[in-house]
Structure 1
Amino acid sequence: QEMENVADKLEGVARKLGQIMVENSRRQTDKRIQRGESVLSVYRYNHENVTEQSPPLPKETTEEMLQYTLSLHLPAKNCEFRVNSGKGGPLSFHADPDTILVTFGRQLEEWSLGEFKCRQGEIIYHPDVYGSRTSFSVELKCMSLFLSHASVSKTSKTFSLTHQIFTSLLLLFFFQFFWSYGSHAAT
């Protein structure tokens, strides 16, 4: 039950990310992203078998693994996140347990005509000083998202507080103007 809740919440985050990408994409194709079920995975890491350098995945496995739209990674505790940056080798950075790490898959790269780059990421846990021998992470691979400007136009528009105050003052001004104009016309 709890994993279903986690999956539902991550799916919601993925939908919002999809909307943001549509709004900010300068290039996109009309090609539809293939439909498929999202996959939620829980990974267990054993710190006793940690090596300093993770071996690269075989090319076939990597290409197969990149056939998704986007992937959301949730580390359970502080970790290092390594992303294959393409030409310059891997890029790694520190990530906290309250972080959602996002990588783009092949489907999103094709949809955006190369604007969003497909990259593989991995969580790396280092043994901690407390002697914990295992760590966990959760990953949601979204196989499809509804990416189009039509889906964005259906979202509600929000107005800033400044716009709301300005509109209220404008309506108040018109109301007073017509009220005073109507009372002068009656006399």
Structure 2
Amino acid sequence: MTATSRAPRRPRIRPRGPPPAPPTPIRTARGARSAAADERVLAEFLEASLRVPDLALPPRAPRKRFFSFPPAPPPPREVPSQALASGDADAALRAASAAAESGAFAVAGAIDASEVREAVEASRAVFAAPDEVKREQLARWFRRKDDEPTAGGEEFCWFRPVSPDEDRALGAALPGSTYRVFRDRMDTVASRMENVAKNAIKVLSDNVKNPKDSALFTEAPSILRLTLHNSCKSKTSWDEFGSTDPPNSHALNIHLSERDRQICLRNQGGSTIFTSPAGSMLVTIGKQVQEWSNGQFRTAVGEVLYEMTDEPGPFISLELVYSPDDLHLSEVGRQARCIDRPKAISFRDQILVVLILLFLFYVFWR
């Protein structure tokens, strides 16, 4: 009897539920069923077997601003020249508020535009002097941006007040009556600019709240700067003039032009471009006044813009860098500070008063 071998049985795994019936193959219209019926059966099968989770996108985060540009400051406030000179309270308050907000204010009606044009035309003969004379005899008054005369422009510095020695040196260096005509016409313009600067200093001195106890004293002379802008440059930046102080170390800067000009005013809050009428002066605050006022009045810088399309030839801009001899408190402000500030009596004086009272009491009431 032969033994028969049997293969081991495989374990049966019972499904937990009946599997879905697979769809029948898709048939063509030639068969018993149509293709449309097969597609419907396939769609029902997929819908029953697939479980697609509900997905939701995260909420959209707000966009971050990487650059934030401050708004452009408004144009400087305008103050009438006569009201500023007469000490009008409203004009003085307007000028002081503008100096505290933007560091600049405009003075209208300070000078006739025709006088400025005559002075500018007279100064063209000064710039037309030979280069050898500018380098040798007039080196103290002339400054050039670049080595080439036609590359960047020139600047003529007229120190105020003019000493007799400087007056003779300028008259001898410039040919004929060039300097005499320039001095007669430009002296009128410079005097008007200095008057506006003095009135502005008085207004700031009357409206300062917490100035430094020491007076603002400087030995730097005031400078009338005449800048010749050539057609190939829209603006020029100058270095210091020898032993004189840079512009920021002065008290005020007065800008004046013979025709309507666009000026870019820059301060810590940004920059703005506005049109300055002919004969109108722009007063900007310097570093001396800011330090003297403990930051109440802000510094600002004004720069004349050159439009090459409207004016193909060079033009001349005027700027007075002003520094007063001293800047004290006004009498009204000084008296108010003395009244408001209580007087402190030292301990030694208090003891002396007590001893005197004790002596009088001992003499009269003994």
Aligned-residue CA RMSD in angstroms? 2.6
Matched ranges for 1:1-187 at <5 A = 1-33=184-216, 34-46=218-230, 48-51=231-234, 64-88=246-270, 90-127=271-308, 129=310, 131-144=311-324, 146-150=326-330
Question: Per-residue deviation at 1:45?
Answer: 1.8
2:257 counterpart letter in structure 1: P
1:42 counterpart letter in structure 2: L
Question: Per-residue deviation at 1:72?
Answer: 0.3
Larger radius of gyration: 2
Question: Per-residue deviation at 1:152?
Answer: 6.9
Gaps of 5+ in 2: 1-183, 334-366
Identical aligned residues as a percent: 23
2:204 counterpart letter in structure 1: M
Q: Deviations over 1:90-116 (max 9, x none)?
A: 222111112101111110101111111
> Distance in 2 between the 1:124 and 1:141 partners?
19
**Structure 1 counterpart SS, 2:246:** helix
Distance 1:132 1:29, change over 3 A: same
Question: Per-residue deviation at 1:146?
Answer: 3.6
Question: Per-residue deviation at 1:125?
Answer: 2.3
| Aligned 8 A contact 1:70 1:103 in 2 | yes
> Distance in 1 between the 2:259 and 2:309 partners?
10
| Aligned 8 A contact 1:81 1:122 in 2 | yes
2:207 counterpart letter in structure 1: N
Q: Please, what TM-score do these two structures have when normalized by structure 2?
A: 0.36
| Aligned 8 A contact 2:260 2:275 in 1 | yes
| Aligned 8 A contact 1:15 1:145 in 2 | no
Q: Deviations over 1:53-95 (max 9, x none)?
A: x58x59x97x93311000100022222111222143x222111
| Aligned 8 A contact 2:262 2:305 in 1 | yes
**Larger relative CO (CA 8 A, sep 6+): 1 or 2?**
1
> Distance in 2 between the 1:147 and 1:101 partners?
21
